[in-house]
Amino acid sequence: MKSLLKLGVAALACAVIAGCGQGQDSDQLVVGFSQIGSESGWRAAETRVAREQAEARGIDLRVSDAQQRQENQIRAIRTFIAQGVDAILLAPVVETGWDAVLAEAREANIPVVLLDRRIETADEDLYLAAVASDAVEEGRVAARWLAEEVGDRQCGVIELQGTVGASVANDRREGFAEIVAGNPNLTIVRSQSGDFTRSRAKEVMESLIRSVGGPNICAVYAHNDDMMIGAIQAMTEAGLNPGEDILTVSIDGVPDIFRAMAEGQANATVELTPNMAGPAFDLLEAYLDDGTAPEKWVRTDSPLYLADTAEAEYAQRRDRY
Amino acid sequence: MSAFKDTTRWLMTARPQLAALALVLGLNMVIAPGFLELTWSDGRLYGSPINLLNRAAPVALLALGMSMVIATRGIDLSVGAVMAIAGAVAAVLVNSGAPWPVAVAAALGAGLACGLWNGVLVAVIGIQPIVATLILMVAGRGVAQLITDGRILTFNDPGLAAIGGGAWLGLPIPVWITLAAAMALIVLTRRTALGLFIEAIGVNPAASRLSGVNSRMVLICVYMVSGLMAALAGLIVAGDIRGADANNAGLWLELDAILAAVIGGASLYGGRLGLSLALLGVWTLQGLKLAILRSGLPAEYNLIVMALLIAVILALQSPAGGRAWRRLTPSRREIAP
């Protein structure tokens, strides 16, 4: 059944691409975008924002959904090369194995920009630039807010990690730990993995509340907002008051955390912007215009959002994610 | 047969499972001395044992269905995906204004339909169970993602949320659901001939067919029960976090369910149905998870410690482990002249 579905999607994609090919005027920029899939609300938002950004700039954007498979992404890139697009955006599903197909793109003189994840390669010239957030900095921003908020108070922090071994989890942990080390009144009392999911984080938080004791928890730091939403439920059900008695800070900026902040159950979130395509189009336009070489790693901002703007942010994001 | 005789016989067969559970509970008491304490507040019981039963509920339901499937020499890899589908169906319906009983009925119906699909593939078309259910394991999560549009669908319906987080007569509702499902299935398989049919199919499908068992019908029913249990588990997980997370709900839980059934003494070659033993297996697994969480061990060690402890438990239950045990504790028969 799945292969049949795939066949249908492929046929549809062919039809769409063929349709685009016809009414195209010569000076319009054509960009191919190989997206990983739509496995999370954030990923869906990234695609949506990319389309919006392309439309605003009059760019013809062709999106190919790889359904989490590298071979689909490689095939999509080869298709884009065959179509002679002006540039390719690639959100790589894994870090390695891109050298051959990127070399083909380079031979065809098509610049490739990586979105939101970077790759491991011996030859950095294979791609023009990477637009990605700095996950270590995200951890730092979260910890800096917490350090400022508690002042000189002793504060025991519970950390909910992402999936063990995921590079984002490692980076967000590293950045947070770096700032905590410089503030002796902050201590991480427990650090457990919640696998980036609501239900696992809720289960883990229930146990941690029991073993640490609710009154001894001063703050909770979660590597993503979804885990924080699970943790907030666990705390509320244990009779604690997250957002008031227990400070919370997490990362991503998904709509539901803004709602929790507006309701006074969460304090802060560090946004991982879904607008990766905007900066990519900026640097591509500059490069194709006069050959301006961009920075190899364009870091997107990691802004901090607090409860005061939560209501407005929720309204704005609700339909995008 | 008297109830007393029944109970003692059960205790004899359940010895290895009870020993493993006792071991794990002991481990928990060493790590957290107040482990067995129960407190009463807001009209419900609180405490680690209750937490254990509550958190074990989804895998317990899966393991009940899985034990029946395994006893027919089958396996159901799709239960995790069916959980995601059921949660998604219920969440979409309550969010579109349907009353929660309708949403629950639709979710259970979706679970039964998934089970029917698996059952037909296995029993009518004759695809090997591991392959047949693999299809739905892969495609089912995609179906759930289509239903939820790839995002976590949050809902506020108190009725649906209560299935995962409510309490009745002092106990969490997921615990009641587990107990009710277990009782119903045990009665169904032990007070009727169904249990015998299931085991007969597992031991020798051809012989059971020749002796008049409608194996096709029994197989389809067994996969439908597994689908129904998965749908219940999916409702509990969705109700618990008040949202349907199509990407993560029930992810890899089919493996936990298989493991629990095996700890409960099931043989993957079929022919052995022990629902209550599978429940002991589930609680042992959940106890292990709790112990690791409470120990404060760094997250990197979770899986490795879990695997080691499970290996120890399975080794103790193996024939070799049993022989070693008998050598250490000579039985009365050997001492008697």
Q: Tens of pLDDT along B56-84?
A: 999 999 999 999 999 999 999 999 999 99
* Closest alpha carbon within chain B to A38: B150
- What's the pLDDT band for B326 if we cut at 50, 70, 90? confident
Q: Is B120 on the interface with A (CB under 8 A)?
A: no
Q: What is the pLDDT of residue B4?
A: 87
Identify which of A44, A198, A199 has the shortest CB distance to residue B151: A44
- Candidates B248, B252, B306: best to mutate against A (most CBs of A within 10 A) is B248
Beta bridge partners of B69: none
The helix/strand/coil state of A191 is: strand
How far apart are the two ends of chain A, measured CA to CA in Å?
28
Cα B66 from Cα B73, distance rounded (Å): 11
Say yes or no to pLDDT of B337 above 70.
Answer: no
Range(s) of the domain holding residue B271: 27-32+52-320
Distance CA(B92)–CA(B231), nearest Å, equals 15
Has residue A290 been placed in a domain? no
**Pairwise CA distance, residues B139 & B122, whole Å:** 17
Would the ipTM clear 0.90, i.e. be above it?
no
Q: Is residue A11 part of a domain?
A: no
Please compute the mean of the pLDDT values over residues B21-42 and round it to a whole number: 90
**One domain for residues A189 and A67:** no
A256 confidence band (pLDDT: 50, 70, 90): very high
Print the domain residue range for A261: 135-273+306-317
Residue A188 identity: I
Q: In this structure, what CATH number is given to the domain that contains residue A173? A: 3.40.50.2300
* pLDDT value of position A1: 47
Task: Give CA–CA dist A176/A179, Å, rounded.
Answer: 6
pLDDT exceeds 70 at position A93: yes
Query: Where is the domain boundary, A102, A127, A152?
Result: A127
- Interchain pair B299, A237: CB under 8 A: no
In A, what residues contact B, Cβ < 8 A?
1-2, 5, 38-41, 43-44, 161, 164, 190-193, 195-200, 202-204, 206-208, 210-211, 226, 229-230, 233, 237, 256, 321
Output the pTM of the full model.
0.86
What pLDDT sits at residue A175? 97
Q: What is the mean pLDDT of chain B?
A: 91
Q: Does a structural domain hold residue A71?
A: yes
pLDDT tens sequence across A1-42: 445 555 455 444 444 444 444 444 557 899 999 998 877 778
CB contact under 8 A, A190 and B296: yes
Number of structural domains (chain A) is 2
Residue A139 and residue A123 share a domain: no
Residue A285 lies in a domain: no
Nearest to B290 by CA among B47, B42, B1, B41: B47
Least confident segment among A99-103, B114-118, B315-319: B315-319
Q: Which residues of B touch A38 (CB under 8 A)?
A: 145, 150
